[in-house]
Amino acid sequence: MDGSITSFSSFDSKKQYNTIERAYVHVKVNRARWVPVPDGQSASQLVTGSYSELNNSLDLWTCPRGKHDEGAPRAVCTVQVSGDVTELKFVDPQTFLASTGKGDLLLFKVKEEQLEEIQKWDTTQMLCDADSFTGFDVADGVVALATTDGQIVCFPYADSSNAPSNMIKPGKDGVKAVSFIRHHEIALGNLRGQISIWDLRENIFAPAITFPYNADSAIGVTRLSPFPLQKHILVASGCDGTIATWDLRNVTNSQTIYAAHS
């Protein structure tokens, strides 16, 4: 990101208008996530994570959303972390997981205008021979870590023993993206351009489905995410700047490809 936080608001009265508020920050921001709110409400807080700074941090911001609450986004809490913030994911409306480039996995709770650290995992005990992990996802209380040596380690984050519940070894192909499709299904994307779907209820030594991101060339997969209400639709992004959608009921061809660079 360009070192700024931007929020948007729209209101319906006799005529509709939009307001854009921007706050320039002094750090590079790698991840930004709105704090979830009930349906029908507008989010007013967001969490950001910095990278490539001497002192990296997680920051909680408040963003005016009402018609009479104008003003730029404002940082209300800062927590220093060790290493670049590589990912942020909320597990419920008040609790989120954050990962760092140093291999830390952190659990935080948002309490009004404060960030409270609840737990910090020493992932070296779970990653076996891996130095760190490249990404993670969480669903139904289970965290899936993609390790630097190509393994996927799943464990329930509420279990104090940190004992892995599943381990997947898809090979040393540089797994970059990991995403739960359902609580028992997980999608992996690697730097060789392969996407694979694994059923955690079955034999985890072989994927249920494997298909290429691009049939014509090996384009590494950087991100994976299913549609919230249509889990059979998978969205993937590639190292070449493209975004593709797949219907997992028929993966012969991608449904749509969007080119970010031309």
pTM for this prediction: 0.81
* Domain boundary, last residue among 120, 152, 176: 120
Same domain? For 167 and 109 the reply is no
Q: What is the pLDDT of residue 213?
A: 87
Same domain? For 21 and 142 the reply is no
Same domain? For 116 and 136 the reply is no
* Residue 246 dihedral angles phi and psi, to the nearest 5°: -130, 140
List CB contacts of 231: < 8 A, sequence separation 6 or more.
Answer: 181, 182
* Domain boundary, last residue among 71, 101, 120: 120
Segment-wise mean pLDDT, segments of 10 residues, the chain, 262 residues: 59 53 84 92 92 96 71 90 93 94 92 95 69 84 84 81 68 82 91 90 79 84 91 92 89 73 57
C-alpha to C-alpha distance for 97 and 108, rounded to whole angstroms = 6
Same domain? For 65 and 194 the reply is no
Q: What is the pLDDT of residue 148?
A: 76
CATH of the domain at 99: 2.130.10.10
Same domain? For 113 and 178 the reply is no
C-alpha to C-alpha distance for 83 and 121, rounded to whole angstroms = 15
Same domain? For 147 and 249 the reply is yes
Q: What is the pLDDT of residue 208?
A: 86
**8 Å CB contact between 103 and 134:** no
Q: What is the pLDDT of residue 261?
A: 59
Tokens matching residue 55: 């002192």
Q: What is the pLDDT of residue 93?
A: 93
Same domain? For 141 and 256 the reply is yes
DSSP state of 35: P
Q: What is the pLDDT of residue 67?
A: 57
Q: Which domain holds residue 210?
A: 126-262
Tell me how far CA of residue 104 lies from CA of 89, 131, 167, 171, 190, in angstroms.
14, 11, 19, 23, 22
Q: What is the pLDDT of residue 13?
A: 47
Same domain? For 138 and 105 the reply is no
Same domain? For 262 and 133 the reply is yes
Q: What is the pLDDT of residue 11?
A: 46
Number of domains in the chain: 2
Tokens matching residue 101: 């480039």
* Domain boundary, last residue among 120, 138, 169: 120
